[in-house]
Chains A and B, each alone.
Chain A
Amino acid sequence: MNSIELNAVTKDYKLGKVVVPALKGVHMQVSSGEFTVIAGPSGSGKTTLLNLIGCMDTPTKGVVKVAGQETGKLKETELTDLRLHKIGFIFQSFNLISVLDVFDNVEFPLLLMKSLSKQERRERVLNYVEKVGLSGHLKHRPNELSGGQRQRVAIARALVTKPEIILADEPTANLDSKTGQTIIDLMKEINKTDQTTFLFSTHDHQIMEQARRVIRLQDGTVVS
């Protein structure tokens, strides 16, 4: 079953009168449970592609289907709901809420979902915080954590809603290579145990080599 499906997707950015074509007719599919890397040089369209898949933006032309829904046909509130329930995000610069501690940061999307009791939320949060190895830092605020620890919090936050797809735009770019490697290892492990679909971009060759599947982008088109 396809978690993600792109058909002849183009995305143009308008910069004043100039139209910048970021994606030029992309076709691709990602099946459930896959661990896929989007590779390509800077400016090739990786972020644009992930934004479209992450329902944060809609294509200029073509069809983007995420978890069975065609994003171009959805209203803003429905896109937001889709992001909340089906997608987990891991950002390049972690994007934690600075005034909340680790527990609260991880719990945050569960509060937005409103479907779990306090007790269920607590169990869920503790489970994922343990998975990313931060049980000892529950009460710490982001500025009291290292970069690697922050990205682990972000991973826990992305996973806590049990989304179908985890998207990560260059999750290791702001980390040293050793820490980056442990983050990749963590993601691989979760992929294996939970069967969560992982789709992340990188331009790091070392990381690309570890992926089961690599989609190469160049100049807004898929080259392999």
Chain B
Amino acid sequence: MDSWVTWKIAFRNLFLHKFKTAVIGFIIVFGTTLAIVGNSLVDAISSGMQRSLTNSVTGEIQIFSSDAKEKLSVFGNMDGSMPDVKHVNDFVKVRDALLAKVPNIQSVIPMGTEAAMWNPGNILDVKLEDLRALYSAKPRDVEKITKLKEYVRAMVENTRRRLDESRSSVSLVLKKDDLFAKAPANLSQALSSEFWASFDAHAEERIEFLANNIAPLIFDDSFVWLSYMGTVPGEFQKAFSQFEIVKGQQIPEGKRGFLFSEYVYENIIKNRVARRLDQVKKRIEKDGTKIAGNQLQTDAISACVAQAAEIYTQIAPSDVQTLAPKMRKLMDSKENDFPKLIKDFLAMNDSNFMERYKFFYEEIAPKIVLYKVRVGDVFPVTAFSDSGYSVSVNMKVYGTYHFKSFENSPIAGNFNIMDMMSFRELQGFMTAEKRQETKALEAEMGVADVGRDDLNAIFGNRDDKPAAKTTTHISNALAPTTAGKFEARKRVFEQVYSQEEMTNGVFLNAAVLLKDASKISQTLKQIQDVAKSENLGIQAIDWRDAAGMMGQLTIMVRAVLYFLVLITFTIATFIIMNSMLMATMERTREIGTMRAIGAQRKFLLKLFLQETMILSFIFGAIGTLVGALIVGTVGARGIPAMGDPAQGDVSTFFFSGDRLYFHLNPVHILVVFICMTLVAIISTQYPAWRAMKISPLEAILSKE
């Protein structure tokens, strides 16, 4: 009908039922706004996450063995274990074949992720080791030895004191053996004046006694789990633009080495008390959260006080003499008992926090072990195989790194980095040197061709039932008897290797970085083709799959969003339908009249459709406009990353920065438009069908 009379009719009818129209309008505006804003947000998070993942760990594509037992997931399985992806033997062959045949590939970076355990030892262990070194040095530095002995003696004293204070705080591990039962006797022996008077004469024996009987009583820190990624650090840095060294330096080319993730370093390796003070300060500075009245803050302060021993046991008696007066002055205190003084110091409140925080870092921190491993230190990393044998490698820490723009996210910050060679060794693969050793071993034991699995057979317990990886790890950790069977060669970190040696060999997975990142699926296909034709024994997946659950996250978020929008639109559809049905009843006579005058049934369908179209399009347009307005203002300004600043912002990873910026996508407007058309069409069907069944006789039968 080439006139807008039908529109006029539709409009007038909507005006006649203002309330109903308003309700429907509200629902549609809500639904469309949600769809527009929600989709923009999910888009932004999705691309933010893509940026974070592809720029930090996964690259655009990951390749791994086609024999993999489980799907590759670089962040690990749901239960925290690493998926069994098997391995590919010859990295250089795979890399060169791909680079030659797939022009869109920029670089291929070998990788492998695994978790290892590290027992940092406690402060007494460390000091005893120092003492041992002083005794074996020639000539002996008597002054230093005396000072350190005093310190050790003070520590033993502290240990007795803490044990007396609370027997329950002693580690569970201790309670199960008789070390705990013998503790009082051992402690009084270690504190006897005879013990110390004849120390120099029996240094080795005394140190051994303290290490075996007293040090385990200071079980102040549990084992540390370190997730690490083996790679070629220099190439990794070149390939992943977000990579940045924070402390120290990159592992030099050709050297073995270890880089802590800055996040891990600050949150796990750092002294617990110092870490807590940092958290309290961050909350105060970022969110202005006062200590008083805030559960998190007061809990942190109480924890600091409870763990004061981690500070005072670490300060040598000679340092106490200079530090204590300064503290008494600062705190205006007369406390003579040093441990008590430290406790009082740590019981900070809003008025003195900043002052004491500054004092802590200027005066106290230099006198304690602030980080369990310092940059430049060498520490042992121990990995366990499923069958229970362990491999230890001494690793030199060259520095810490983070990924720019999501420094605070624990997700990507989870991985520490080590050279590929050490990684292979920890995995139990043959390295060049190892091969030499095993050759010798073979000769000795008369075994031919020792491979990885054979090593398991030799050193592991064959009858071990296959258990979940994590539980095996833990039980191994608590039963260190198997540890160290494969004695780590202590100075391996000093050796220099060629680039070829470092790069080539076994790898678990590898990141493939592309020249044109928009062609992921085509390139994926090409890689798969080349892998098949060249018999590379690899499979390829995109970054989303490689990220496991995390990659699916935005898909799930979008699914939830679509579900909500669908529900809203379904509700809208039903309300419109109901409203139209009522209108049909009300307008029976009018409809009958139209039919009597000569209107065909399809005319009625059109009339009804126009009415619902007006509803859905006007309000859909308003909703889209509101959505666009929100996206335009809020999206342009950006949403700040949320969460507890002290715990690290997970959101920075998804935002790929401190703020999430999002913008309007015409596709979503089109989708909304299609949805609104569907709403209109669907909601019209039944009422229109009912209307078409109205007989023209109704014009005469029903009275006004």
Contact = CB atoms under 8 A, between A and B. Distances in A.
A109 B598 contact: yes
A92 interface: yes
Interface residues of B, number: 28
A89 interface: yes
Interface in A83-102: 83-85, 89, 91-93, 95, 97-100
B699 interface: yes
Interface string A68-84: 00000000110011011
B700 A47 contact: yes
Given A47-B700, A100-B5, A83 B13 contact: no
Interface in B688-704: 695-697, 699-700, 703-704
A77 B697 contact: no
A164 interface: no
A28 interface: no
A19 B16 CA distance: 42
A114 interface: yes
A34 interface: no
Nearest to A87: B598
Contact of A118 (B3, B13, B589): B3
B699 A91 contact: yes
B603 A104 contact: no
A112 interface: yes
Contacts of A85: 598
Contacts of A97: 9, 590, 593-594
Given A57-B697, A91-B699, A112 B8 contact: no
Given A56-B696, A91-B700, A98-B590, A112 B9 contact: no
Contacts of B13: 99
Contact of B597 (A76, A89, A92): A89
A80 B595 CA distance: 7
B600 interface: yes
Interface in B573-597: 589-590, 593-597
Name the prevailing secondary structure of the A interface residues. Answer: helix
A93 B703 contact: yes
Given A107-B5, A111-B3, A84 B597 contact: yes
Nearest to A96: B593
A157 B593 CA distance: 12
B599 interface: yes
Given A95-B699, A98-B590, A99-B12, A56 B596 contact: yes
A97 B703 CA distance: 14
Contacts of A118: 2-3
Contacts of B704: 93
B696 A111 contact: no
A118 B5 CA distance: 12
Contacts of A92: 700
A104 B8 CA distance: 10
B1 interface: yes
A38 B12 CA distance: 38
A148 to B, nearest CB: 16
Nearest to B699: A95
B697 A51 contact: yes
Nearest to B592: A95
Nearest to A54: B596
Interface string B666-704: 000000000000000000000000000001110110011
A159 to B, nearest CB: 12
A104 B2 CA distance: 13
B593 A114 contact: no
B597 A108 contact: yes
B700 A108 contact: no
A208 B346 CA distance: 113
B700 A80 contact: no
B596 A111 contact: no
Nearest to A157: B597
Given A98-B590, A100-B8, A80 B600 contact: yes
Interface in B542-598: 589-590, 593-598
A64 B704 CA distance: 30
B589 to A, nearest CB: 7
A83 B697 CA distance: 13
Nearest to B9: A99
A155 B704 CA distance: 19
Nearest to B697: A56
B8 A99 contact: yes
Interface string B585-621: 0000110011111111101000000000000000000
Given A84-B597, A95-B590, 15 more contacts: A47-B700, A54-B596, A56-B697, A83-B598, A83-B696, A84-B598, A92-B700, A99-B13, A99-B16, A109-B597, A111-B1, A112-B599, A118-B2, A161-B598, A169-B700
30 contacts: A47-B700, A56-B596, A56-B695, A57-B697, A77-B601, A80-B595, A80-B600, A80-B696, A83-B598, A83-B696, A84-B598, A91-B596, A91-B699, A91-B700, A93-B703, A95-B593, A95-B699, A97-B593, A98-B590, A99-B9, A99-B12, A99-B16, A100-B5, A100-B8, A104-B8, A108-B5, A109-B597, A111-B5, A112-B599, A114-B1
Q: Which 10 residue pairs are nearest across A and B when measured between Cβ atoms?
A: A84-B598, A99-B12, A95-B593, A56-B696, A83-B598, A93-B704, A111-B1, A112-B598, A109-B597, A111-B3
